[in-house]
Structure 1
């Protein structure tokens, strides 16, 4: 019955029952730092069975310093295989030897998990000669000077990049603002510029055809005055035929057909990912140039003075609008660049003067820092009640579905409340159990089961330290703390997690508080300390 009660502490896992094929034992449960102790695995199999023991360098947080050969003992036609591993640890604490997978006839079997304590070596301070503590030696840090040089270098590079961008922009502006006397002069110049870019020779066929057809369409729109840029190929050809009749243009059917073929070829390249051959690309370019020249020569030159004046005025107004638009875009670009430059400069300045941690915490933001500095809430959760102060209100969660049916039948009431999740930056859970029958609970064994729960949820290489814990009202309980490794699902890398667990048992009820956060997070450490210092326990209601 006690075993079933301890299984209730798993809270996040289900019971697993399997036939025991491998016996597991250790020669001592208490050891000194650096001393060897032996883990023994024993199994009895048929003489024809194939047994594979793993070759390990580490078992959990313990180092394997010796993997002993397998001993074989024959008895009544069966073989008893004994495998020993020599283990050690160079840090004090309570460690869990996790389950190991053994293969018997290619079928996996799991060994039992065991715990072992590693204690410090006692030092006799009466025989050991003592020395005075040396004074602190001040060391000049070159870090501040290094950051200043980095800031100056970044500032120079930023100014240089800004000047380069501005000069290049001005040069491009002059080229773009060049005023052509006639549309044919503009089209001819742009065709020559396109050939100098050598786009299709570099494999950029789509970009080449896009610019080539844009040159032809822009010429037709300016010279023949039909909406060529917004029209489809079919609409453009229909409009061109109508304009040639209206304007009495002496353009041949062959010229219009050649233009139509090139425009359709461009549509295939742009939208159907067609890839013309090199000679076809050259022919299309020549057809466009010839079509533009033929169209220009076919336009009647008899234009009245009034029409000529109106046309020049329209072109002049269009050029003015284009220039104003480009100036406005340039001002916007300069403003954005200035803001970005100031932002980067300010960030580098704070890094140089305050340090990177200050920038990360106060400018970029730190989730646990925001929790620590936010408005805290004090509430009582569960029955037996746990009064606790937390940075956020804990939300009720249902864990009854994850409990074994045998253990669930013994529970009168179970309540659980949590903030965050097992893989978040900070996780806090408060759970309470009330049993149907009053039962004495061994808190140390309950701690072992809780550690196994964490392992079942993906915790690896667990380091466990255990001590007594008293609340402000003098109620005693057990505290377990340490670190473990878990896989980060986003970065696909292992990260260290620090945990603290409090367990209290009173009046046949159980109260548990669990805190998980990333190791080395100073703000999370302050949150944990404040939470645990605020714990108050309420008496169990009947």
Structure 2
């Protein structure tokens, strides 16, 4: 029984080892590092799609501080999955430290990683041999153009929309009786109102009562304003008497025929309004003529007297006319400006797309790029052949490569279009080494990610997979999302190691931009590598 128990125990240990211990792999990028530098600890778990894995979320591993807990990467391997979790560790005191065994829960059972010894050493600085330099002077930075033109275009656009609404409202609104109309004199007002009365075609509509009511009101208003007697509140008889008295007092030369004609029309209007009388057509036309003659006769009979009140009234009328004309001109100018703004906006939407306008007229128009004449070009050495919507321009890489790395590089070239901070970016870079080098593409991808983070990119989520060109040349593809100035961007990075060099293509654009996605797909499908002999 003892040997059975012994072998049963060993069998269980073996099963446990195969099921759990062998599925957790521990790796660190270096065991010696400078003070304050980062150790990258990697934990890999292999399992089935149904395997539940939980990595620890702590601030310290032994004496090392966790400064970065990277997102989990998932790689599919036939029927299984590989989960990769990375931690960035550091220490600001020199010495030897141990990263202890770390518990990882696999299907709720703890599996421990390998413990690793690391060393943190100080950086020696020889201050006697170090050159000293003067403080550099202040460099004047060219002031950017700013966004004032965007606000100007917005003002023009709002002006155009406002004018269009006003013009539509003015056309559809009903004229208000209280709306003030400026007339130069009482006779001008009366003759204008008589012309407008005929345009209303009240007689053709059978509205005889309304016609006579407006006709006599025009005459009464004129008499009250021109001669200053209460014509509106007087009966027909009272008005004729008041006219005769005013004729004597103010020396108006009004004939008996004029007064009798006015009296006849006013009495006829009373019969129409109160007795429902219906004059014949020629009688109506004759009454209209009598009213017009009476107004003209009274106007001619009024003696010309320079009255200070009249002069002041005329000045006020002239001022009102001037303001009305100025308002009319301003409205017309606003209409022209607004119409021009609408034309500009329409042109921008048609050529650059609605997304470009939504983004505040900033960034790159992916609609314009997608529909442009694409260019197929060859870049760098070892060269990359790719089709792009615009020709990529050479970039200065002298400040991008560290001095210690330059000792290994024979030549590096970079070409680009746009900028990450403009939310659309294309780069193609090629690196030629002095000696044939077996490049670790995964580490090269990590270096690119760190470079982006150093430029201000945040919350990068990176996934990695394989990539092959149409010629069958294999490389890797890094893809994912990142945050730049509160904007979520999507990126794709291709890496190849051909002809003893490194080739990299990177495309960055807004995550939800469908046109940008089509641009990226077309570019990646066109990638070719020209190998040197």
Bigger relative contact order (CA 8 A; separation at least 6)? 1
Same fold (TM over 0.5): no
- TM-score, with normalisation over the residues of structure 1? 0.44
- TM-score, with normalisation over the residues of structure 2? 0.45
